Amino acid sequence: MDRSEIIRWLKEEDPRRLKELYLRAYAVKLKNVGNHVFFRGIIELSNICQKDCLYCGIRKSNARVERFLMSKQEILESSKSALDMQYGSLVLQSGERTDLEFVDFVEDVVREIKALRDSNNSLGITLSLGEQTQETYQRWFDAGAHRYLLRIETSNSKLYEELHPADHSFSERLNCLEVLRKVGYQVGTGVMIGLPYQTVEDLADDILFFKDKDIDMIGMGPYLVHKDTPLAESIQEDIRKKNLELGLKMIALTRIHLQDVNIAATTALQALSLSGREMGLQSGANIIMPNITHTKYRKFYQLYEDKPCLDENASLCRDCLSQRIDSIGEEIGYNQWGDSPHFLKKR
Ligand code: SAM
Ligand code: SF4
C-alpha cells in the first residue's frame, strides 16, 4: 500500500468496505504470523514519573495521584503468577525514572525474574520504562530483558512538541529507538491514535515510519481522555467510537504494510469496547497483554479514565481472556516467548 491508499482507508466509513479491510489484514496475519495469540503479562510496577506528557494521567504534575513503587518481592510474586498461568512473557512498565537507584532496582529485578526457581529461563521480558541512556539499556539487556517498547507517540515532530512540555525532545526519543536497536533489543514502538490535532495523514505517516525504522513490534492504541490532564481541555466531542474504529483500521493497515511484525491489541481498545481486544485480533493483531499487577495498585496507574479490569484478579482475567480467544477461533501460545518473526528473520 502506498501513502495515498492508506489515507483513503483511514477515511473509509462504509462498514462493508471496512469489513473487507479487516478480512484482508487477517489473511496477511495468518500467512505471516499464524493464528497464535501470545500473552505478555504486564506488571505496572510504579506510577512515579519524572515527565509531564500532557495527555497522561500519571504525569508528574498530577497531584491527585497517590504514588507507589512495587517492592521487589511483589514483582517477583506477580512474575511467578505469570509462570503459573503459563504466560510466556512479561512486560515491566512504569513511569519514567533515570536515577541510579531505579536503574539498579530494575536491573536487580530483571536478574531475579530470570533466576526464578522452576522458570528455567522460560519468561521472556519486555521493558517499557521510557527514555534511558545507552548504558542503562545495556545493563538491563545484560540482565536478561530482550525486548523494549518505546512509543514514538506520533511521528509528526510538530505534533509531538504540542503534546509535550518544552523539555521533552522528539529527537531524543528517536535516538533512543536507534540505541535500543544497537544494544540488541527487539524494538517496539507505536503511537496514540485519535489525538487532538492529529490528522489521517499523520497516522498514515506513522505506519510508514514503522516500516522505515524497521520496527519489530507495534504497541499502539486509541488515545483516551484523563480529566486531570491539560490535553483533556481540548476535547469537545465524544471521541470514543471514532477512536475505536481508527484504532482497528490502524492495526489492519499496519499488518498489511509491515506483514510479519508483532502487533498488540492494547488495553485501550478494551477500554472502548468490552470486546475491543478480540476485535483487534480479528483486524491483524497477535499479542495481548493481560494485566497481572496486584489489584491493590491498579487504581493508581490510570493513564486514562475507564481503565478496564481494575479489580479483577489475574487468574480471572486469564480465564475470561482464554474463553474470548477460543470464541474467535484463535489459539493461545502458552509458555512461549512469541518473538517477532520480523526480528527472527533478520537474525
Ligand atoms: N513512561 C514510559 C513511556 O512513556 O514510554 C512507559 C509507560 S507510559 C504510561 C506507556 C504509554 O502509555 C505511553 O507511551 C503512551 O502512549 C500511553 N498513554 C499515556 N497516556 C495515555 C492516554 N491518555 N491514552 C492512551 N494512551 C496513553
Ligand atoms: Fe510519564 Fe510515560 Fe506518562 Fe509520559 S506517558 S507522563 S513518560 S508515564
Per residue in 40-69, pLDDT tens? 999 999 999 999 999 999 999 999 999 999
Distance 56 CA to ligand 1 centre (A): 6
- The pLDDT tens digits for 195-234 are 999 999 999 999 999 999 999 999 999 999 999 999 999 8
Which pLDDT score is estimated for 119?
A: 63
Give tens-digit pLDDT for 267-316: 999 999 989 999 999 999 999 999 999 999 999 999 998 888 887 777 77
- CB of 248 within 6 A of ligand 1: the answer is no
CB 67 within 8 A of CB 300: yes
Q: Which atom of ligand 1 is nearest to the CA of 49?
A: 1
**Which grid coordinates belong to 214?**
524497521
Task: Pick 100 or 274 by higher pLDDT.
Answer: 100
Q: What is the mean pLDDT of residues 241-260?
A: 97
User: Which ligand is in closest contact with the Cα of 62?
Assistant: 2
Asked if pLDDT for residue 249 goes beyond 90, the answer is: yes
Atom of ligand 1 nearest to the CA of 220: 16
- In ligand 1, which atom is closest to the CA atom of 231? 23
304 lines ligand 1 (CB under 6 A): yes
Report CA(300)–ligand 2 centroid distance (Å).
14
What's the mean per-residue pLDDT of the chain?
95
Ordered by where they begin, the domains of the chain are 3-346 (3.20.20.70)
> Mutate which of 58, 92, 150, 160 to test ligand 2's pocket (most atoms within 8 Å of Cβ)?
58
Using an 8 Å Cβ cutoff, are 289 and 281 in contact? Answer: no
Average pLDDT over residues 90-108: 98
Please calculate the CA angle 159-267-10 and round it to the nearest 5 degrees.
Answer: 50
> Atom 13 in ligand 1: which residue has the minimum CA distance?
151
156/104 Cα distance (integer angstroms): 34
Out of 233-237, 240-244, 254-258, 321-325, the most confident range is 254-258
The residue ranking higher by pLDDT, 163 or 237, is: 163
Pocket test for ligand 1, best of 56, 97, 152 (most atoms within 8 A of CB): 56
> How many whole angstroms from 82 Cα to the centroid of ligand 1?
23
Does the CB atom of residue 153 touch ligand 1 within 6 A? yes
CB atoms within 10 A of CB 117: 7
Give the pLDDT score at 317.
77
Q: Which residue type is seen at 226?
A: H
Measured in Å, residue 312 CA sits from the centre of ligand 1 at: 22
**Residue 216 CA to ligand 2 centre (angstroms):** 22
Centroid of ligand 2 to alpha carbon of 94 (angstroms) = 8
Per-position DSSP letters for 150-194, written without gaps between them? ---B-S-HHHHHHHS-TT--HHHHHHHHHHHHHHTPEEEE-BEES
The predicted structure's pLDDT at residue 318 = 81
Q: Which atom of ligand 1 is nearest to the CA of 191?
A: 16
What's the whole-model pTM score? 0.97
Using the mean position of ligand 2's atoms as its centre, give its distance from the Cα of residue 185 in Å.
21
Q: Which DSSP helix (H) or strand (E) runs through 204?
A: helix 200-212
Nearest CA to 280 out of 260, 255, 305, 301 is that of 255
pLDDT at 237 over 90: no
The answer to whether residue 236 scores a pLDDT higher than 80 is no
List, chain by chain if needed, residues with CB within 6 Å of any ligand 2 atom.
49, 51, 53, 56, 58-59, 95-96, 130
Mean pLDDT of all residues in 172-198: 98
